[in-house]
Amino acid sequence: MAIIKVQKGTKDILPQDMPVWHFMEDTARKIFSEYGAKEIRTPIFEATELFARGVGDTTDIVNKEMYTFEKSERSLTLRPENTAGVVRAFIENGMHRLSAPVKLWYKGPMFRYERPQAGRQRQFHQVGIEVFGIKQPTADAEVILMAVNYLKALGLNDLTVELNSLGCPECREVFKTKLKEVIKPYLQDLCPDCQARYEKNPLRLLDCKVEECKAVYAKPEIQEVIQSDFICEECAEHFNELKSYLDALGINYSINKLLVRGLDYYNRTVFEIKSNNLGSQNAVCGGGRYDSLVRNLGGEDTPAVGFAMGMERLASLIGNKEEEKTAGFVVSNNTLEAVKLTEEIRKAGISCEFDLTNKKFVKQLEKASKVAKYALILGEDEIAKNQVTVKNLDTSEQVTVTREKVLEVLNS
Ligand code: ATP
Ligand code: MG
């Protein structure tokens, strides 16, 4: 019969991959809780409308990339990102009543119908943070700090923080109008996506990856508008304060005026962290401030700032980590004694196995040396004297000790 294969753009995360995934997850829990963040887990599927309103219906994610299906005449969607879900949970559970800031972190699978390639899957995982209730740039700085320190704790270097300010809806409007004005003469030269973005979401023109479009945006009169300081005084103050915090904290960053981010909800601060060791999918982290999203999804006016990181991209930078071996493997021809000793050791919180198939002694020893650090040998002699021979399978050193002492040897 034909075998059924894993779906295009999805991957199994196998036992040998787990040490890296546990490392990313444990480190997230450790680092984010140092900042007072609490974990939240929201459902994998939500009402489609949540993403249409929350992510924005001019975005690629909502227009092209969502896994949407009907059940009982309801339109549901597998979450393409988790900010909208976390904001829904924040509102629904009245978290605006908690004293600010409310810091939430999450990890889990996300789904986007994209063209699979290195660093880009259809089911992938993100770990992220959302901080609610603080409008001051201290929160932006803290969110960036959390991202940087998490990446450091994973042992990742050679990363660049790129920063930009998109201003507020008011000053951005003026910028959009100017941008459209200077781009208008070249409209015919742009890719079909950009032609659609021109009306619907002109800021997104700036992060188009098509060479012909990039060439247009590199023209001096267009660059002049892009590089101009369009943001209003208040937005500029916010941005300057943020930069002075980052300077004081010793976080290196570069300003990238082309950084606009894919999602509609950002205002003021946006940032990305890129690795110099990944191919073209080099962004490991994207984030920013989204002060109007909570209100737009029906909640109380609540400023917020956050980020999401792609865990597959992090995993490929971390590289391989060795699987932990089982601590003990009981080798004995007496299955009953073997299972008893195995359980004694497990009860003490130490991993242990024995041969379930009652193979020959030598075969059992071979198996032990493959999967365990110690062979715990229970021959007739040992059983009679209530002893165990503990063999270190790395060094081949062995000692015979009383049963009580076995745990001591395993713990040493
Ligand atoms: P990109 O420009 O790479 O498509 P994005 O702007 O769509 O990224 P976000 O929605 O901000 O990304 O998600 C944050 C992070 O999640 C990205 O920086 C990336 O590391 C990761 N990510 C996004 N889409 C995918 C995907 N399809 N497969 C794997 N990782 C992804
Ligand atoms: Mg994308």
Task: Determine the average pLDDT of the residues in 175-202.
Answer: 89
Structure-token pair, residue 205: 């023109």
* Closest to 125 (Cα-Cα) out of 81, 93, 69: 81
Structure-token pair, residue 198: 């021109």
Nearest CA to ligand 1 atom 22: 310
Distance CA 94, CA 88 (A): 10
Distance 237 CA to ligand 2 centre (A): 30
Task: Determine the average pLDDT of the residues in 365-378.
Answer: 96
* Closest to 193 (Cα-Cα) out of 60, 324, 93: 60
Nearest CA to ligand 1 atom 31: 310
* Per-residue confidence (pLDDT) for residue 273, from 0 to 100: 97
Task: Determine the average pLDDT of the residues in 113-136.
Answer: 97
Euclidean distance between the first and the last CA atom of the chain, given in angstroms as a whole number: 51
CA atoms within 13 A on the CB side of 98: 16
* Ligand 1: nearest atom to the Cα of 207: 2
User: 287-337 pLDDT, tens per residue?
Assistant: 999 999 999 999 999 999 999 999 999 999 998 888 889 999 999 999 999
* Per-residue confidence (pLDDT) for residue 372, from 0 to 100: 96
Domains defined for the chain, CATH in brackets: 15-168+231-318 (3.30.930.10), 326-411 (3.40.50.800)
Q: Mean pLDDT of all residues in the chain?
A: 94
Phi, psi of 391 (to 5 degrees): -110, 120
* Per-residue confidence (pLDDT) for residue 204, from 0 to 100: 85
**Contact call for residues 101 and 131 (beta carbons, < 8 A):** yes
- Between strands 102-111 and 38-39, the pairing is parallel
Q: Out of 107-121, 130-144, 203-217, 352-366, which region has the weakest mean confidence (pLDDT)?
A: 203-217
- Residue predicted with more confidence, 409 or 22: 22
* Ligand 1: nearest atom to the Cα of 80: 10
Best residue among 10, 63, 281 to mutate for probing ligand 1, ranked by most atoms within 8 Å of CB:
281
Task: Determine the average pLDDT of the residues in 30-47.
Answer: 98
* Per-residue confidence (pLDDT) for residue 323, from 0 to 100: 86
Task: Determine the average pLDDT of the residues in 232-251.
Answer: 96
- 278 pLDDT tier (thresholds 50, 70, 90): confident
Best residue among 313, 316, 317, 318 to mutate for probing ligand 1, ranked by most atoms within 8 Å of CB:
313
Ligand 1 pocket list (CB less than 6 A)? 81, 112, 114, 119-121, 124, 126, 262, 281, 283-286, 308-310, 312-313
**Contact call for residues 304 and 87 (beta carbons, < 8 A):** yes
Distance CA 141, CA 158 (A): 20
pTM of the model: 0.91
Q: Out of 115-119, 211-215, 275-279, 310-314, which region has the weakest mean confidence (pLDDT)?
A: 275-279
Task: Determine the average pLDDT of the residues in 32-53.
Answer: 97
From the CA of 313, the nearest ligand is 1
* Per-residue confidence (pLDDT) for residue 59, from 0 to 100: 83
